[in-house]
Amino acid sequence: MTTFRDWNIDPAVCESLRRRGIVELTPVQEQAIPVLRSGQDAVVQSQTGTGKTLAFLLPVFEKLKNVPVTQALVVTPTRELAIQISKLAAFLGEALGIASLAIYGGQDIERQKQKLRRHPQIIIGTPGRLLDHLRRHTIDISKVNKVVLDEADEMMRRGFLEDVEVLLKEAAADHQLMLFSATIPDRVRALAQRYMEAPREIIVKSEHVTLDNIRQVIVDTTEETKLDRLCELINSQQPYLAMVFCHTRQRVAKVAMELAQRGYLAEELHGDLTQAQRALVLKRFRAAQLQVLVATDIAARGLDIEGVTHVYNYDMPIDTEGYIHRIGRTGRAGQQGVAVTFVNARQYTMLRKIEAGIKARITKEKSERSHRREKTQEKIREKLQKERKAEREKKSIPLSKYANRKGASHKGRNDRSRRQNVQARKAGKRR
């Protein structure tokens, strides 16, 4: 067991982490922290829920000086992820006397300007809002020598590549670049080659460790019966907190409304909501005032909500990466979780690709109707077996009262009795 104290982490930080129940290092932390401490550029591949946020924040905070200059920048693809990282940064900063600030869209930009005038040592933000401040000259990242790109693959997928390149050019020329990603597609590798010097590549094979805490099942259904099937599963599985994922905002709104009409404590989460609305929904969900959160994939990245016991893929993910990020909302921090994916007859090819990606076969869950049908069939089989057994026993009963006598040759299967047979033989001899 390797603890943070064994790695000469600041005692105040170790004590703060201990109070939150964080004592041991995760595999990604053990591999990434020494490399990042040395000042090397690094590409780290690791799944969500493996402790990668601490893996880059701890080395960064060790290098920050308590002077009114922004020295580190963490770029994330979503507001939710920026908020999550900023909470942990504020927690660490409190122990070390380091100021941090989260910058993302949906907030009052004037209030952000006021906070930026205090020159926080570390800024966590989304590309769009960071660029907005750069154009307004309200942010200065020219002294930033530590840059972290978190969920780099998602940023590339969302089309933030050009924005990220602008931010990297504005940072100090000798900055250390740390790139964290669940997958390393070609576009991420190309970015690393352009802006990194001899980067260390760290691949943490923790995917199966993460998925081992999640019981994955598929449910065969049709579009017409999907909502009924979802309600049936919620009623039978009784999740503490459940997340339901759909492809589009319109789909999310429809499913959330229908669940609410059926009496479930359900709310929607998607990009059409204002930041205040999203924050309120997440606050209610974290406080368990909601049981079901229906969301688009925007919530699959960066949300770390304690107590999510079930994830329902109402609409099937388009690829393995999306599948892993969705189900990664449950089974976190060593807890057990359940991930249910609805599949129709035309989606099995896509399902096989996902199974190949996670290198595992997902169990097929049977519905209550299937269980009832199986029980009915079992009763029918038992009845038939009893009837056949009764027929065999009936056939085995001798038809003659002499059938069991010693020497009876007909064994009870002859239509005539033994006496009639003897009389017939005597009559033949007389003739």
Domains annotated for the chain, with CATH where assigned, are: 5-205 (3.40.50.300), 208-368 (3.40.50.300)
Whether 128 shows a pLDDT value over 50: the answer reads yes
Question: Can you tell me the distance from the alpha carbon of 182 to that of 48, in angstroms, rounded to the nearest whole number?
Answer: 7
Question: Can you tell me the distance from the alpha carbon of 252 to that of 308, in angstroms, rounded to the nearest whole number?
Answer: 18
pLDDT in tens, 182-240: 778 888 888 888 899 889 999 886 444 456 788 999 999 888 899 999 999 999 999 99
pLDDT at 171: 93
pLDDT at 70: 94
Question: How large is the average pLDDT for residues 297-324?
Answer: 81
What's the Cα-to-Cα distance from 346 to each of 63, 186, 219, 246, 342, rounded to whole Å? Answer: 53, 30, 13, 17, 12
Question: Can you tell me the distance from the alpha carbon of 221 to that of 248, in angstroms, rounded to the nearest whole number?
Answer: 20
Whether 411 shows a pLDDT value over 70: the answer reads no
pLDDT at 198: 87
Question: Can you tell me the distance from the alpha carbon of 95 to that of 312, in angstroms, rounded to the nearest whole number?
Answer: 39
**What is the pLDDT confidence band of residue 57, given thresholds at 50, 70 and 90?**
very high
Task: Give residue for tokens 């080659």.
Answer: 193
- Is residue 196 within 8 A of residue 38, CB to CB? The reply is no
Long-range contacts of 365-372 (CB under 8 A, 24+ apart): 365/217, 365/218, 365/219, 365/340, 367/219, 367/229, 367/232, 368/232, 368/236
Question: Can you tell me the distance from the alpha carbon of 393 to that of 31, in angstroms, rounded to the nearest whole number?
Answer: 73
Task: Give residue for tokens 């990194």.
Answer: 196
- Is residue 134 within 8 A of residue 125, CB to CB? The reply is no
For the chain, give the percent of residues with pLDDT over 70: 86
**What is the pLDDT confidence band of residue 431, given thresholds at 50, 70 and 90?**
low
**What is the pLDDT confidence band of residue 429, given thresholds at 50, 70 and 90?**
low
Whether 270 shows a pLDDT value over 60: the answer reads yes
Question: Can you tell me the distance from the alpha carbon of 230 to that of 333, in angstroms, rounded to the nearest whole number?
Answer: 26
Maximum distance among all Cα pairs of the chain, rounded to whole angstroms: 136
pLDDT in tens, 67-94: 999 999 999 988 888 988 998 999 899 8
The one-character DSSP state at 3 is B
Range scoring the smallest mean pLDDT among 170-179, 325-334, 361-370: 361-370
pLDDT at 207: 45
Whether 367 shows a pLDDT value over 60: the answer reads no
Whether 413 shows a pLDDT value over 70: the answer reads no
Torsions phi, psi for 48 (to 5 deg):
-65, 155
User: Mean pLDDT, the chain, as a whole number?
Assistant: 84
Whether 408 shows a pLDDT value over 60: the answer reads no
Contacts of 404 (CB under 8 A, 6+ apart): 398, 412
pLDDT at 209: 42
**What is the pLDDT confidence band of residue 145, given thresholds at 50, 70 and 90?**
very high
Range scoring the smallest mean pLDDT among 262-271, 335-344, 361-370: 361-370
Task: Give residue for tokens 């000469």.
Answer: 8
Question: Can you tell me the distance from the alpha carbon of 183 to that of 196, in angstroms, rounded to the nearest whole number?
Answer: 18
Question: Can you tell me the distance from the alpha carbon of 282 to that of 79, in angstroms, rounded to the nearest whole number?
Answer: 12
pLDDT at 279: 83
Structure tokens of 346? 């035309």
Range scoring the smallest mean pLDDT among 50-54, 148-152, 266-270, 280-284: 50-54
Task: Give residue for tokens 């070609």.
Answer: 186
In 99-239, which residue ranges form alpha helices assigned H by DSSP?
109-116, 127-136, 152-157, 161-170, 186-195, 207-212, 226-237
Whether 41 shows a pLDDT value over 60: the answer reads yes
The one-character DSSP state at 75 is E
Whether 409 shows a pLDDT value over 70: the answer reads no
Whether 27 shows a pLDDT value over 90: the answer reads no
User: What SS3 state is found at 376?
Assistant: helix
> CA 85, 112, 272, 261 torsion: positive or negative?
positive
Question: Can you tell me the distance from the alpha carbon of 113 to that of 102, in angstroms, rounded to the nearest whole number?
Answer: 12
Contacts of 313 (CB under 8 A, 6+ apart): 245, 323, 326, 327, 339, 340, 341, 342
Question: Can you tell me the distance from the alpha carbon of 359 to that of 342, in angstroms, rounded to the nearest whole number?
Answer: 19
